[in-house]
């Protein structure tokens, strides 16, 4: 008597193998969620709404409006965070599990603070290498955002934006995008490369050199998240890095240093 289990029908084996890949419908949905939460569609929507009510980004002298930049950044942060929460809950995924994992928040916050010197050193070395070997990439002599830091009140508003729109929004956004790539769009490494490039391109207004360095920083924070599975460390590091850059720019009187990411 043959005690071996019967072989599965060929169509069942094929179905089992196909189960390793997510259905096309799920991949399309994941791609749409990534695009929507990338920050570009929400910012374009807000710019359109602002323009419809007659609010433009430039003032009378042609310079960027501080109120416009701050409002756009903070409202967009709220929109993106709400969309991430919505997309997670619609698929019965836990925002807490995605964002905090199972690591003690206090320890992760300490790690994030300890990583700030690493990001500052990475920024300084990257800008120095670009200046040495590809100086033409520095196509924006004065960062238009740094030019808005003309008073203590402006510095305070930029600090709020640096923490909320930078540290909080962008790290939650990064974790969500990496999760979707890991689940349905080719893997976490692909997501890390793609989103780091997009993160850098989003800062082109500050210069090509700034876009490259910002992309490298995004890659670094993405690696930290994937290794820890908690946004606390990259969030704290990102926020403190931005605050440090604001302080450096203020003390230096505009020029020098990297732009807030």
Percent of the chain with pLDDT over 90: 71
CA 247 centroid distance within chain: 21
Q: What confidence score (pLDDT) does residue 20 get?
A: 61
> pLDDT higher for 64 or 221?
221
Q: What confidence score (pLDDT) does residue 63 get?
A: 72
Q: What confidence score (pLDDT) does residue 59 get?
A: 66
As a residue count, the chain comes to 261
**What are φ and ψ of residue 58, in 5° steps?**
-105, 145
Q: Is pLDDT at 17 greater than 60 in this prediction?
A: no
User: What average pLDDT does the chain have?
Assistant: 87
Per-residue pLDDT tens digits for 80-107 = 999 999 999 999 999 999 999 999 999 9
Q: What confidence score (pLDDT) does residue 76 get?
A: 96
- pLDDT category at 13 given cuts 50, 70, 90 is very low
> Which of 6-10, 15-19, 185-189, 200-204 ranks highest by mean pLDDT?
185-189
Is residue 171 within 8 A of residue 226, CB to CB? The reply is: no
Cβ within 8 Å of residue 66, ≥6 positions away: 148, 154, 157
Q: Is pLDDT at 35 greater than 70 in this prediction?
A: yes
Q: Is pLDDT at 137 greater than 60 in this prediction?
A: yes
Q: Give the mean model confidence (pLDDT) for residues 177-203.
A: 94
| 142: nearest Cα among 254, 63, 249, 248 | 254
Q: Is pLDDT at 50 greater than 80 in this prediction?
A: yes
- pLDDT category at 62 given cuts 50, 70, 90 is low
Q: For residue 93, give the DSSP letter.
A: -
Per-residue pLDDT tens digits for 168-181 = 999 999 999 999 99
Q: Is pLDDT at 14 greater than 60 in this prediction?
A: no
Contacts 24+ apart (CB under 8 A), 246-254: 246/149, 246/155, 246/158, 246/159, 246/162, 249/143, 249/146, 249/149, 250/149, 250/155, 254/142, 254/143, 254/146, 254/147, 254/149
Q: Is pLDDT at 260 greater than 50 in this prediction?
A: no
> pLDDT higher for 93 or 18?
93
């Amino acid at each position: 008597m043959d005690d071996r289990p019967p072989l599965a029908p060929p169509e069942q084996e094929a179905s089992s193998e196909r189960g390793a890949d997510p259905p096309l419908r799920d991949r399309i949905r994941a791609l749409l969620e990534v695009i929507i939460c990338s920050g570009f569609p929400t910012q374009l929507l807000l710019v359109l709404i602002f323009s419809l009510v007659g609010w433009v980004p430039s003032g009378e002298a042609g310079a960027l409006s501080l109120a416009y930049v701050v409002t756009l950044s903070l409202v967009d942060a709220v929109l993106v965070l709400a969309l991430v929460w919505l997309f997670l809950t619609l698929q019965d995924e836990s925002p807490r599990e995605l964002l905090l994992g199972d690591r003690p928040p206090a320890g992760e916050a300490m790690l994030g603070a300890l990583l700030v010197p690493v990001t500052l050193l990475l920024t300084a070395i990257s800008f120095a290498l670009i200046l040495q070997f590809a100086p033409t990439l520095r196509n924006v002599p004065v960062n238009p955002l740094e030019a808005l830091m003309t008073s203590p009140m402006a510095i305070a508003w930029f600090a709020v934006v640096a923490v909320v729109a930078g540290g909080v929004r962008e790290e939650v956004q990064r974790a969500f995008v990496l999760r979707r790539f890991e689940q349905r769009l080719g893997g976490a490494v692909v997501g890390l490369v793609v989103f780091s490039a997009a993160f850098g391109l989003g800062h082109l207004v500050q210069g090509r050199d700034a876009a490259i360095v910002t992309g490298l920083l995004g890659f670094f924070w993405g690696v930290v998240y994937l290794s820890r599975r908690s946004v606390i460390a990259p969030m704290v590091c990102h926020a403190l890095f931005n605050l440090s850059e604001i302080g450096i720019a203020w003390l230096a009187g505009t020029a020098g240093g990297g732009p807030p990411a």
